[in-house]
A and B are shown apart, each in its own frame.
Chain A
Amino acid sequence: GDKVKQSPSALSLQEGTNSALRCNFSIAATTVQWFLQNPRGSLMNLFYLVPGTKENGRLKSAFDSKESYSTLHIRDAQLEDSGTYFCAAEGGSNAKLTFGKGTKLSVKS
């Protein structure tokens, strides 16, 4: 099965609302990264996490290594938040990231 499971696979939000994305890991993740892939395909780093939480503007992410999951909360969603969100876990040496399949987010006005 998938080593990194993302949910939901797709999400549609009204502008100004809040939501949360989740990743569950079946590998022993030591660090987690969240990326946003825009419609042009470019990847933007959002968060790099060791166990704990980080916040950046309207985004907040948490990583619980004991319970093997990570979340990404989006507050006051804006149109420019649309894209595919990937989480990726690092579970060993050599910085090999294992990616989830992504959550495709559409924010509508």
Chain B
Amino acid sequence: GPKVLQIPSHQIIDMGQMVTLNCDPVSNHLYFYWYKQILGQQMEFLVNFYNGKVMEKSKLFKDQFSVERPDGSYFTLKIQPTALEDSAVYFCASSSTGGSQNTLYFGAGTRLSVL
């Protein structure tokens, strides 16, 4: 089936540094999402993105977070600066349509470890 690729699979950085998580969504999809999963806990919505804009974001999407997809390249999640509580697995997803009647396809996740 359709695949969403996330790069890297694991990232280790020091607290205070900047990190960029990359997502290569399904090729004809237009809606993009980031979810955060702390080890052993449920997945939480962070943000969704369409037509170059953030459509909706949750309280977890702190001011230090930003997303973009320049010129149809990777859909990225940037955290600057990182904090210890940012350690989690970040899942990217994409869908062809927004709202109802859409199926989200998820990547395998990027495990971020902030030391």
A81-109 with Cβ < 8 A to chain B: 86, 88, 90, 93-102
By a beta-carbon cutoff of 8 Å, the part of chain B in contact with chain A is 1, 31, 33, 35, 41-45, 48, 55-56, 58, 89, 91, 95, 98-109, 111
Assembled-state Cα–Cα distance A29/B42 (Å): 18
Q: Which residues of B contact A96 (CB under 8 A)?
A: 45, 48, 56, 58
Using A48-B103, A90-B100 as known contacts, say yes or no to A95 and B31 having CB atoms under 8 A apart.
Answer: yes
Q: How many residues of A contact B (CB 8 A)?
A: 24
Q: Tell me if A13 counts as interface (CB < 8 A to partner B).
A: no
Q: Which residues of B contact A90 (CB under 8 A)?
A: 100
By a beta-carbon cutoff of 8 Å, the part of chain A in contact with chain B is 30-31, 33, 35, 40-43, 45, 48, 50, 86, 88, 90, 93-102
Residue of A nearest to B91 (CB): A43
Looking at B44, B89, B104, B107, the one whose CB has the most chain A CB atoms below 10 A away is B104
Among A45, A86, A95, A98, which residue has its beta carbon within 8 angstroms of that of B99? Answer: A95
Assembled-state Cα–Cα distance A95/B29 (Å): 14
> Can you report 24 residue pairs joining A to B where beta carbons are below 8 Å apart?
A31-B101, A41-B108, A41-B109, A42-B109, A43-B106, A43-B109, A45-B105, A48-B103, A50-B100, A86-B43, A93-B99, A94-B55, A95-B33, A95-B48, A95-B95, A95-B98, A95-B99, A95-B104, A96-B58, A97-B45, A99-B43, A99-B44, A99-B45, A102-B42
